[in-house]
A and B are shown apart, each in its own frame.
Chain A
């Protein structure tokens, strides 16, 4: 059981994240299709962890594979858009692409638990705001070293919140997404050290896909985990606020340390989220 858990929650997603990183490095203009591939990867992880999808889906969690397949199609289509989305379209894309599935998955709970509904929509609006702030800006001084590091720590923290909240299946899915993100970051950091300043930014459309995936997994955790700590989930989202700040005025450090510092700073609220969820 433990070997299976490590294989499908960590090792396979890590390898797939590395493969996605290779695709990002060598696909040229097709790099934008990485957003669609991210959702294909997430779909594979969910099928490996939860089993083959049930049709028609009855429970909310059974809808997740269909949502991921739909988002893969959406982001493959967006990957063909040459121009990066502006701030408002980016925010609208993240909000709609995460909120519509979240409502479909959790409408029974949203209507019965107003606190959970408030938390879910608060998180989704926060992610939409983050999408606007992290969209390409001529004023940005960093090369996008912080956003994926922030999402990595948000996913790790959400996995722990899901475990302590009593939903281990979603913790596995979040863990798999974190492992894939870690794989992508590992490969990209090596490329960054090799001289590619922009290596740690996945590109505008794939970044939106990552934001939607993380927002969706956090929303599903908030909805379906029986006792997910709401304060911990809010803290788990805060690395994105730090990423937005780091993208504008990051610390002046030696080049090789800049991504490491960005990651360390983004990890702080995630660690707080983990502590709150474990100790509460």
Chain B
């Protein structure tokens, strides 16, 4: 009887442990910055940011390869510091925000590259086209809010790039942009 109870308890512990190892977080939309830059006809790099970002993170500090991340970006929230240009970028010439309002990234594989760094590969969906993209991610820190110890925040920085025309953004070339779009991401996430 004792053996059965012990075996049952051990089994439950083993089964439960992977779930317990990973912590769940919601990205704080007020502290999430997804910015990008792309070559503008050789003169400069045009910069922009998406103002509305949400998502969730499952972060396993013991084995980061078991972590995962999902980010959703509102394509219509693009801001390049010029309202007319933003309207054009939302049009079917570029992001087609009315038909494809969400840009998403869902991780599919994570490779640890250092104590606090990893390569996160995932499916990036832009304008209805999905292709794998790899981000270089750094885990910055995790701590409670100074004024509210019950709220724990963690923070990551990430960089990566992809070719716009590969995602159907064929007009980029015509307008002297790209072809590569470099991403610079910083997000803070609140532990659930």
Contacts and interface: CB of A to CB of B under 8 A. Distances in A.
Interface of A: 1, 4, 50-51, 54, 58-61, 108-109, 112-113, 165-170, 224-227
B170 A226 contact: no
Interface residues of chain B: helix, strand, loop or mixed (majority): loop
A166 B128 contact: no
Nearest to B88: A166
Max chain A Cβ within 10 angstroms of own Cβ: one of B88, B168, B171, B175: B88
A109 B99 contact: yes
A114 to B, nearest CB: 14
B129 A224 contact: no
B39 to A, nearest CB: 15
25 contacts: A4-B174, A50-B170, A51-B170, A58-B127, A58-B129, A59-B96, A59-B99, A59-B127, A59-B168, A60-B96, A61-B92, A109-B98, A112-B98, A113-B98, A165-B87, A165-B91, A166-B88, A166-B90, A167-B88, A167-B91, A169-B91, A169-B93, A224-B92, A224-B98, A224-B99
B174 A1 contact: yes
Interface in B83-117: 84, 87-88, 90-93, 96-100
CB-CB nearest 4 A-B residue pairs: A166-B87, A167-B91, A58-B128, A61-B92
B128 A170 contact: no
A169 B99 contact: no
A168 to B, nearest CB: 6
B93 A168 contact: yes
Nearest to B170: A51
A139 B15 CA distance: 87
B29 interface: no
B87 A60 contact: no
A60 B99 contact: yes
B176 interface: yes
A169 B129 contact: no
A60 to B, nearest CB: 6
Contacts of B93: 167-169
Nearest to B92: A61
Nearest to A58: B128
Given A108-B98, A169-B171, A226-B98, A59 B128 contact: yes
B92 A167 contact: yes
B98 A169 contact: no
Interface string B148-180: 000000000000000000001011001110000
A38 B93 CA distance: 24
Nearest to B87: A166
Contacts of A50: 170
Contacts of B88: 166-168, 226
A264 to B, nearest CB: 32
Contacts of B174: 1, 4
Given A59-B127, A59-B168, A167-B93, A227 B87 contact: yes
A169 B92 contact: yes
A226 B99 contact: no
A54 B168 contact: yes
A109 B127 CA distance: 15
Nearest to B175: A1
A61 B96 contact: yes
A185 B125 CA distance: 45
Contact of A226 (B87, B127, B168): B87
A60 B87 CA distance: 18
A165 B170 CA distance: 20
A220 B28 CA distance: 37
A125 to B, nearest CB: 23
Max chain B Cβ within 10 angstroms of own Cβ: one of A1, A50, A60, A226: A226
Interface string B6-24: 0000000000000000000
A19 to B, nearest CB: 26
A226 B91 contact: yes
B126 to A, nearest CB: 11
B177 to A, nearest CB: 11
Contacts of B168: 54, 58-59
